[in-house]
Amino acid sequence: MSDIRKKPQEAKTLYEYILDNRPGTANYEYCLVDVAQIEAQSEDAAVREEAMKKFQRVVSSFPDDELQEKSVLGMARIRMAEENYEEAKTHWAAYLENRGWNIARAEANYQMGFANEKTGNLADAMKVYVSVYANFPGYLDWSTRAYLRAAAITKARGEDLKALKILQDMLKRMGHHKHPGVAKAKSVFGQWRNEYAKKMAQQEKE
């Protein structure tokens, strides 16, 4: 099954043959998940819906824990990509409820926070973001985003100094890493610090 990453379309042709002609055979459910993962990357909404159906079929019919995890994760990722945040939250919640699922624990937590933010639940979003950078600091793709989103929400509330402190804390912990999220934080911190300094100077004049 490793060919899925190297030659996905060739693999998909083989898997679809198995799905069409060998139902009930060994590895059938693995083929189902592999084809769904390929379809999930499609730009075509109808193809993505076929992926959703396959993932859901696995969740409903095949108890294999690894395949269950991949399927719930696959459904959550599809809905996030489509910006269907309400439905995405149900899939992320299902993923997070299973403590044994660890393929994408940091991602699932961050995305739950992001989906909460996008659906207007800023309080819960902030709680999740803080837990992400506290509990998954080494997962820079997600912990840096969590810091940046938490800082952005805080600044939007008018708490400029607190937002700066969030970024300052981030850079103290992660500033030595070469990562796009760290680079962005350095840029944003510099911009916000300058804006804050000008604001304070203006207030002193007044």
Residue 87, Cβ neighbours under 10 Å: how many?
Answer: 16
DSSP string, 32-77: HHHHHHHHTT-S-HHHHHHHHHHHHHHHHH---HHHHHHHHHHHHH
d(C-alpha 190, C-alpha 23), whole Å: 59
Q: Is 159 exposed, middle or buried (0-12, 13-18, 19+ CB in 10 A)?
A: middle
Pick 10 or 158 by higher pLDDT. Answer: 158
Angle, vertex CA 100, rays to CA 150 and CA 135, nearest 5: 25
Question: pLDDT (tens digit, 9 = 90+) per residue, 13-59?
Answer: 656 655 656 556 557 888 889 899 999 999 999 999 999 999 999 99
- What are the boundaries of each domain within the chain? 1-103, 129-206
DSSP state of 103: T
Buried-exposed string 21-59: b where 16+ CB fall within 10 A, e elsewhere: eeeeeeeebbbbbbbbbbbbeeeeeeebeebbebbeebb
Cite the DSSP H helix spans in the chain: 3-6, 8-21, 28-39, 45-61, 65-81, 85-97, 105-118, 122-135, 140-156, 160-174, 180-205
Q: Residue 2's pLDDT is what?
A: 43
Mean pLDDT of the 186-200 span: 96
Buried-exposed string 124-157: b where 16+ CB fall within 10 A, e elsewhere: bbbebbeebbeebbebbebbbbbbbbbbbbbbee
Is a pLDDT exceeding 60 seen at residue 8?
A: no
What is the dihedral sign for C-alpha 137, 142, 146, 152?
A: positive
Which of 2-11, 40-49, 168-177 is the least confident region? 2-11
Mean pLDDT of the 115-124 span: 98
How would CATH label the architecture of 1-103? Alpha Horseshoe (1.25)
Q: What is the pTM of this model?
A: 0.88
Residue 3, Cβ neighbours under 10 Å: how many?
Answer: 13
What is the dihedral sign for C-alpha 131, 136, 140, 141?
A: negative
d(C-alpha 169, C-alpha 150), whole Å: 12
